[in-house]
A and B are shown apart, each in its own frame.
Chain A
Amino acid sequence: MSDPQKNDLQKNEAQMNKPSAKKSVKWGEAPKMSILDALYLPAIASGLATAVRHAVSGKATTRQYPEVEPEIPPNYRGVHRLNRDEAGRVKCVACYMCQTACPANCIEIIAAPAPKDDPHWKDRDKFPATFTIDELRCIYCGMCEEACPVDAIELTSIYDLTGMTREEMIFDKEKLLSVFDETVKSGHDPVRTNRGNLGPAAELSPTAKDAPPPPGRGKSG
């Protein structure tokens, strides 16, 4: 510390870092204690009173989980599922929107052309060959559900997800479909929306089919 220049520098720095130097900061002060407060006895008494009041009231606030399961609100964000369409196929069209939206990078999809030769898949172009979600990495924000244009991915009310290994917590397509089968059967997780295959814009409007032909067209015109 013999170097005078260095000393100066340090002094300057110390001044700069002094809290009072920053005028934008408001510094609060602890309220002053009265003599009664300084004794602490009233506070002890009021604390004891609260404890005694709860002990004798007879109202239990402890939940008896897992014997009694809590009621889960319908918008709870639990384990994911992959919905099936009317034909029982996976509804997902592998558009990667959920994977794009996912902030935790826990979704991984590999898309493939749908098996066109199979009459069961004739009206589909693209489907997920694999669809995996790392349930451990997921932060259950629900962005995938928001992003999905075909309502294929949904978060269910299953909250008690456990596993013995990390591997079994990485859910593949089959597992996610089985979650759908299970939750739909149990009835507490209905399919939340049902907009159809590719969103409302791609749907034929219901009026188009039923409406009378416009004037000037067809027999009536």
Chain B
Amino acid sequence: MVKVKVNDIEVDADPKDNCILAARKAGIEIPHYCWHESLSVVASCRMCLVEVGETKPDGTVAMGPKLVPGCQTPIKEGTIIRTDSSKVKTSQQMTLELLLLNHPLDCSICDQAGECYLQDYTYKYGKAHSRLDEPKIQREDKYHIGEQIALFTDRCVMCTRCVRFTREISGTAELQVVARGSHEEIDVFPETPCNNKLAGNVVDLCPVGALCSKDFLYKKRVWWLKHADSVCTGCSTGCSVQVDQNDNKVYRLRPRENPQAQGHFMCDEGRFGFKYIHDERRIKYPRLKNPPSNVNATARSTAPSDLSFADPWPTVLAEARKRIHSAIQNDPSGFVVVLSPFMTVEEAYLLASYIKGIDARTKLTLGPVPVVGSDDLYPKGPKGESPAAGKVKFTIRAEKCPNRNGIEAILRHFEGSVIHAESLGKSSASAWFVVGGSSSGWVNEKIDQAVGTPSLLIVQDIFPSPLSERADVVFAAGSFAERDGTYVNHAGLAQSTHASIRPPEEARADGRILMDLAGRAGLFNAMALRKEIGTKIPELSAIATGDLGEHGVRLAKFVNHTAAAKSS
């Protein structure tokens, strides 16, 4: 740690920091466009020019004669940074005036308006008006940049963050700067559009409204969006994301910086893969086969159009509880619970403790863990080859579920070992409780055959499946955006996810269903449950803090059992 003075505020900074990071530690913002923590430094936007000096051994201060770019200037013991001198302020005003020379100022139709660094910095550091008396250069919009990306060329400030991203992080190098001087433009090589699996990140990286997501284009003004911290459930990397919703509709997912999980980025599969949560085919109402005779007739038919069917849950839950108890009484070892790797730790704990609490002879199993291909590593080499070990900057994992490790920890605690439901074959189990939660195709043939047609089948899922079709009780569950809870990723990082929207119609978040089913008092509270789980299960003791923070906490002495088994 070295001592640095930023505007007379003394801070301890990392000797590897640049001036921007050191100033950030002092709570002072140095405006910047081209610099990004995870990209190389080019110092081309000139927005971060600051005065830098040093303290001589005799205590005198010698300031540099010229302004230097804060992003490129390293710090050392006694470095003095000034961001509030009139020299710096004039420079910032001039830089902004020049950046805005040819900017069309079409904020009213720009998707970035509201989260645009041109707007923010002009408001904070810029001048109110331009002295340009020439016609602005107008450029063509480019919709051919990529399947998901549109370039509004005249809004660009040529920071080249997007170009550096495709060269350094994705390694695919589709984007480049063409022409020179005031004719500079971002473009792609002919017939090689920017369609790599990380392409969506260039939209987030763009500090202005030049690169826009076609998926989100003109859908919503950003100031209407409400944000919730969440975790992507697309693969076991468990990228920290932000769910942006308005009026109970999710409009986009954005990566949230998390050095412990994935860094700054996320893949397009996760970014655009959330749309199933608004799918019309979702299970929206709980269902009950052969309801008891005292339930009124409307409760039998749960057609989505049936508005007279009010509050089906008490009936369905009471009946399910009764049937579970009688099934366990008849054949305790024939009662099998299938926990899916899409459940949160809290939900798995609620269900496991409820069923094991009735009879310890019941069997808890792990449902199918979807694996597609092999891990996809970035940056790619020139021929599309994977990077060498140690140079990996982003990984899309083959295991397409968020929480296998968390569920396995629960299973090891309650069952002693992890039994895979698929391996049971056509078993003699008489009753099944199957929890799904996947976007599609989770119920495979093996588990379908294993379940067969038992005397009691309870399915808790978000999409209809062969199992839910023949189930005696169907609980309409919630998608990842509708749940609170904890996911444990491939490296044993436990991250909390927060509900951002309400489930559709009569569907309910899984935690709420299981809370009621288990007959526990009070509402589902993920934080309180985490404290309980942390104290009861030693393997998950790290989450006993309750609040896992923005970045999550790592489980102590974590072993990825599946990965270990594979490598041995």
Contacts and interface: CB of A to CB of B under 8 A. Distances in A.
Given A126-B109, A198-B108, A199-B108, A207 B218 contact: no
Contact of B221 (A100, A113, A150): A100
Given A96-B221, A125-B141, A149 B136 contact: no
B135 A202 contact: no
Contact of A113 (B104, B135, B217, B224): B217
Contacts of B221: 95-96, 100
Given A94-B218, A100-B223, A113-B217, A125 B109 contact: yes
Interface residues of B, number: 20
A111 interface: yes
A208 B105 contact: no
B106 interface: yes
A188 to B, nearest CB: 29
Contacts of B218: 94, 111-113, 126
A93 B109 contact: yes
A14 interface: no
Nearest to A111: B218
Contacts of A209: 135
Interface string A184-221: 00000000000000110110110111010000000000
A94 B111 CA distance: 11
Interface in B98-154: 104-109, 113, 130, 133-136, 141, 152
A204 B135 contact: yes
A164 B527 CA distance: 54
Contacts of B223: 100
A204 B133 CA distance: 8
B175 to A, nearest CB: 22
A204 B108 CA distance: 17
Contacts of B224: 96, 100
Interface string A89-125: 0000111110010000000000111000000000001
A126 B223 CA distance: 18
A198 B218 CA distance: 17
Interface residues of A, number: 23
Contacts of A125: 106, 109, 141, 152
Contacts, number: 49
A125 B155 CA distance: 13
A149 B108 contact: yes
Contacts of A207: 133
Contacts of B130: 201
B217 A198 contact: no
Nearest to A204: B135
A15 to B, nearest CB: 41
B106 A198 contact: yes
A182 to B, nearest CB: 27
A204 B130 CA distance: 12
Nearest to B150: A113
Contacts of A199: 105, 108
B105 A201 contact: yes
Contact of A97 (B108, B135, B141, B152): B108
A128 to B, nearest CB: 10
Given A95-B107, A207-B133, 14 more contacts: A93-B108, A94-B109, A95-B108, A95-B109, A95-B113, A95-B221, A97-B108, A100-B221, A113-B217, A150-B108, A198-B108, A199-B105, A208-B133, A208-B134
Interface of A: 93-97, 100, 111-113, 125-126, 149-150, 198-199, 201-202, 204-205, 207-209, 211
Interface of B: 104-109, 113, 130, 133-136, 141, 152, 217-219, 221, 223-224
Q: Which 10 A-B pairs have the closest CB atoms?
A: A95-B108, A126-B109, A111-B218, A96-B221, A201-B105, A202-B105, A149-B108, A93-B109, A208-B133, A204-B135
20 contacts: A93-B109, A95-B107, A95-B221, A96-B221, A100-B221, A100-B223, A100-B224, A111-B218, A111-B219, A113-B218, A125-B106, A126-B109, A126-B218, A149-B108, A150-B108, A198-B109, A202-B104, A202-B105, A205-B133, A207-B133
